Amino acid sequence: MEQWDVHIISISFGFEEENQLIDAAVERAIGKGKLVFAAASNNGGLYGRSRPARQDGVMCIHACDGLCNIGDMNPSPLDYKSNFATLGVAVPSRWKNKDVWKTGTSFATPIAAGFAADILEFANKKCNLTPERRKILHKYRGMEAVFRKMSEKRKEFNIVHPKYLWDYDMNEHEVARVIEKIVQGV
């Protein structure tokens, strides 16, 4: 965070127990206006969200398959919290020079972070936002609002997919106006 001044931090791991060093680092990142994404957990309904995904200000990411069906490794969705999910079941990968398909919230997390990076880049180039409004996209509440717009509710989860924001019939100016409107409402 200090060395490269990143805008997004993707954490593809989680702990059940408290870890003061990690918790403090996440709090510092959030305090400096960084977007933090973390894997929900792969323990199914046995346990809740892992740390740091359960911390306030962290985008907790669950996993679904390519058809937006929720994977059974996810913790239960929480009332009054964002329950975002994206591709994390059978993600095509390479491991030791072989094609493999990996599953877990740890694989969904960098995909969600990639969506956020695309949104930030698009907003920087195409949206008419003041510097103050642009900073809102770099905060949890701003990106959460955009993710809500680019998601569909399924089984109490918000399935995040670019098609819900970048509709096939919309041009880039229309998408820019949608993002501008979201930011103004936050």
Q: Left, alpha or beta for 106 (phi > 0: left; psi -120 to 50: alpha)?
A: alpha
Q: Which fold has domain 8-185?
A: Rossmann fold (3.40.50)
Mean pLDDT of the chain, nearest integer: 94
How large is the greatest C-alpha to C-alpha distance in the chain, in angstroms? 48
Which 3 state secondary structure label does DSSP give 100?
A: strand
pLDDT in tens, 83-106: 999 999 999 999 899 999 999 999
| 103, amino acid identity | T
Q: Please report, in angstroms and rounded to a whole number, the separation of the first and last CA atoms in the chain.
A: 26
Instruction: Express each pLDDT in 44-96 by its tens digit.
Output: 988 899 999 999 999 999 999 999 999 999 999 999 999 999 999 999 999 89
Residue 2: both structure tokens together: 């200090």
The torsion defined by the Cα of 81, 86, 90 and 92, in degrees rounded to 10, comes to -140
- pLDDT tens digits, residue range 106-140? 999 999 999 999 999 999 999 999 999 999 999 99
